[in-house]
């Protein structure tokens, strides 16, 4: 097992990529702290993992709330003694062009996708330094590399996640804090379904998304979870500041 006896925090673990990542980490021997703004969903996945004889516990937390993150993460660090891995996966999609987006929508997008990563990483950084190392993994997107019409805030937030990952990797290298991100293509999650539903013709949008992937299908949450497991494992001990693209060949097919 590649993550035996490690302790990992996974945000946004109530559904989609976060849920799959929590399960895959547990299967690889990690104790998983399942974090979600929806406490019931966090408990659901934690219970599912525990019923399989693996270690997990739920944690209800709004990762955009500075006061709550400071308080709850501090208590969690004290309880767990040593945390090894932080997966910043919580995210949403707010659709619209710059012309259409309200400042409230823009801020909500940036708070959830970017501010949350800063808050969680900032709070755990000293703990990782004191333990002479740690791993931070962020969910970016192929949208960090290309522009998508009517998706301005989302694309901007994910591009910022990728750059923040590089900066944190440089800041943490001397303290053996590795920081990487994963850039998924279109993945079958509630988040992407919300994006399709916001389009004039949801089925046409879905069909078009599938057609972009040379492999012939959209991704599954498990496809991304496997990437996170690799980056969290010793197999990736010389990898930091990288963006692992898992997109079914989407980027290779673009002109």
Domains of the chain (ranges; CATH) run 7-188+220-240 (3.40.50.720)
| Res 82: pLDDT | 94
Q: State residue 254's pLDDT score.
A: 83
Give the H/E segment covering residue 32. strand 31-36
Residues that are catalytic: 154
Question: What average pLDDT does range 52-79 have in this prediction?
Answer: 96
Q: What is the mean pLDDT of the chain?
A: 96
pLDDT band at 255 (very low <50, low <70, confident <90, very high): confident
User: Regarding predicted confidence, which is higher, 150 or 195?
Assistant: 150
Choice among 16-20, 94-98, 121-125 with the minimum mean pLDDT: 94-98
What confidence tens digit (pLDDT) does each residue in 191-227 have?
888 888 888 999 999 999 999 999 999 999 999 999 9
Residue 141 — very low, low, confident or very high, per pLDDT cuts 50/70/90? very high
Q: Is residue 25 very low, low, confident or very high in pLDDT (cuts 50, 70, 90)?
A: very high
Please enumerate in sequence order all residues whose Cβ is within 8 A of that of 164, keeping only pairs 6 or more positions apart, or say none: 114, 117, 118, 138
Q: What is the pTM of this model?
A: 0.96
Alpha-carbon torsion, ordered 1, 166, 129, 135, to 10 deg: -10
The DSSP annotation for 77-131 comes to HHHHS---EEEE-------B-TTT--HHHHHHHHIIIIIHHHHHHHHHHHHHHHT
DSSP 147: -
pLDDT of residue 198: 84
pLDDT for 66 equals 98
């Amino acid at each position: 097992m590649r993550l035996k006896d490690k302790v990992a925090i996974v945000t946004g673990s109530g559904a989609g990529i976060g849920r799959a990542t929590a399960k895959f980490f547990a299967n690889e021997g990690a104790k998983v702290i399942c974090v979600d703004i929806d406490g019931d969903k966090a408990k659901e996945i934690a219970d599912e993992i525990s019923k399989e004889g693996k270690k997990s516990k739920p944690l209800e937390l709004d990762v955009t709330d500075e006061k709550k993150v400071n308080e709850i993460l501090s208590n969690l660090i004290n309880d767990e003694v040593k945390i090894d891995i932080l997966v910043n996966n919580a995210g949403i999609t707010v659709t619209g062009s710059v012309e259409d987006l309200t400042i409230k929508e823009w801020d909500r997008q940036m708070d959830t996708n970017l501010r949350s990563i800063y808050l969680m990483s900032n709070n755990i950084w000293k703990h990782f330094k004191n333990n002479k190392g740690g791993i931070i993994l962020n969910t970016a997107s192929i949208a960090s590399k290309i522009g998508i019409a009517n998706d301005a805030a989302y694309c901007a937030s994910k591009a910022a996640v990728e750059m923040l990952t590089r900066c944190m990797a440089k800041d943490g290298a001397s303290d053996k804090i590795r920081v990487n991100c994963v850039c998924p293509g279109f993945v079958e999650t509630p988040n992407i379904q919300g994006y399709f539903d916001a389009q004039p013709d949801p089925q046409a949008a879905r069909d078009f998304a599938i057609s972009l992937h040379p492999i012939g299908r959209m991704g599954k949450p498990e496809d991304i979870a496997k990437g996170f497991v690799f980056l969290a494992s010793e197999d990736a001990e010389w990898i930091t500041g990288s963006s692992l693209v898992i997109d079914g060949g989407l980027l290779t097919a673009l002109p």
